[in-house]
């Protein structure tokens, strides 16, 4: 069982920002940037090639909602989406990285502090 399956089952805690019947959205505990977020499919599917079009569109809709939240709470000014497949996929479970972009370089904050800033 991979780390994302354990998070989905509640066996490992996460800084969850959103959850529905299809996905769970949480902050990456090893972020590249403040607000680095993962959208993870709740079913164990390997990658984009195992996903139907409706699910992919749902994930993109959630990505837009989370981007809006990050812009409001963290004052980000752009967003990079990253989704690896095959060799580049570190965890073999579909996930989409949302990496907020900032005009000025920011010091990396503690993930818990970022979570509190977003959720309050």
Catalytic residue among 36, 41, 93, 95: 95
Among residues 80, 78, 83, 19, the alpha carbon closest in space to that of 46 is found at: 83
**Signed CA dihedral, 83, 62, 76, 112: sign only:** negative
95 catalytically annotated: yes
- Start-to-end C-alpha separation, the chain: 33
| DSSP character string of 41-85 | ESS---SGGGS-HHHHHHHHHHHHHHHHHHHHHH---EEEEE---
CB 98 within 8 A of CB 81: yes
Active site residues: 95
């Amino acid at each position: 069982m991979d780390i994302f399956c354990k998070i989905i089952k509640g066996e490992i805690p996460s800084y969850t920002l959103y959850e529905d019947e299809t996905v769970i959205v949480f902050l990456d505990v090893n972020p590249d940037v403040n607000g680095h977020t993962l959208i993870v499919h709740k079913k164990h599917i390997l990658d984009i090639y195992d996903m139907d079009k409706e699910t992919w569109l749902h994930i993109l809709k959630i990505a837009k909602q989370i981007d809006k939240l990050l812009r409001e709470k963290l004052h980000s000014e752009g967003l990079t989406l990253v989704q690896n497949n095959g060799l580049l996929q570190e965890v073999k479970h579909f996930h989409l990285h949302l990496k907020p972009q900032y005009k000025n370089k920011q010091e990396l904050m503690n993930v818990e502090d970022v979570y509190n800033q977003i959720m309050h």
